[in-house]
Amino acid sequence: MENYFDITMTDDQLRTISSIGLAHMGDAVFEILVRTWLCAHGKATGKGLHQATIALVRAESQAEMAGRILPLLTEEEAAVFRRGRNAQVHSVPPHASRAQYGEATALEALFGWLWLRGRKDRINELFCVMMEE
């Protein structure tokens, strides 16, 4: 039986997943991290948790935070980030620019790729840099 909480895919398996597929996975990973961070830091309680989560996971915030980690990415990670940024998305939310949405998609693709590679340590390292105040 596969353990989907602790999955490690091969490079060949990862190459078969589209950038949108990686971003889909990374979106969930990023949201879990944000929710955990908010709870652990007591940043919001009750009804405010949902609003605080939305504020951090929306494309504009993700794009801004992605800029903090770009200099830290390995060549391989930067290639995945670029691949995600160049993904063909068909709709952009009205509150974000196309550039912001591309950066957010790239960040999510990177987090999805790292998750599926089993690199939770690297995700955490990058997330901590992103959340520094």
Taking the C-alpha atoms of residue 129 and residue 50, their distance in angstroms, rounded to an integer, is 23
Task: Tell me if residue 6 is catalytic.
Answer: no
**Options 6, 11, 12, 27, the catalytic residue:** 27
Taking the C-alpha atoms of residue 77 and residue 123, their distance in angstroms, rounded to an integer, is 11
Tokens of 108: 């999510």
Shortest CA distance to 108 belongs to which of 132, 127, 133?
A: 127
Tokens of 21: 């597929």
Residues serving a catalytic function are 27
